[in-house]
Copies of this chain bind each other. A is one copy, B any other.
Amino acid sequence: MPKFQRHVFVCINERPADHPKGCCKARGGVEVRDALKAELTKRGLSKQIRANNAGCLDQCEHGVTVVVYPEQVWYGAVTVDDVNEIVEKHLVGGEPVERLLIKDNK
C-alpha cells in the first residue's frame, strides 16, 4: 500500500460567479495548490508529501481551505504567501501553523 508521510488537499471547487457561498477557486485555490506543489518539488519532498486538488471541503465560509492528513489539520483563508510557512513549519517540522487554523468545530 503506498504511503505518504503527509497528504495535503487544497480545495479548488468552482461555483458560478453569483453563487452566495463563493468558491475556493475564485479565492485563489488553484494558485495555492500550484505554490504548494512547486515548493514541495523544490525541496525534493514531492514523493513523501503529496499536494492534491480536492472538491468542496465544506468550509466555504473560511476562504481557501486546506486539510492535511493523517493529522486532519484544517487551514482557512490560505494564500500563496502562507505556503512556505505551512511547508516549513508543519509539513516538514510537524508543527501546525496556529494562525491559519480553522478553529470552530463545525
Contacts and interface: CB of A to CB of B under 8 A. Distances in A.
Interface of A: 1-4, 7, 9, 50, 52-59, 67, 69-74, 101-106
A58 B104 CA distance: 32
For chain A, what secondary structure do more than half of its interface residues adopt (helix, strand, loop), or is it mixed?
A: loop
Contacts of A101: 1
Contacts of A9: 9, 52, 54
Contacts of A70: 69-72
A71 B1 CA distance: 11
Contacts of A69: 7, 69-70, 72
Contact of A2 (B50, B56, B59): B59
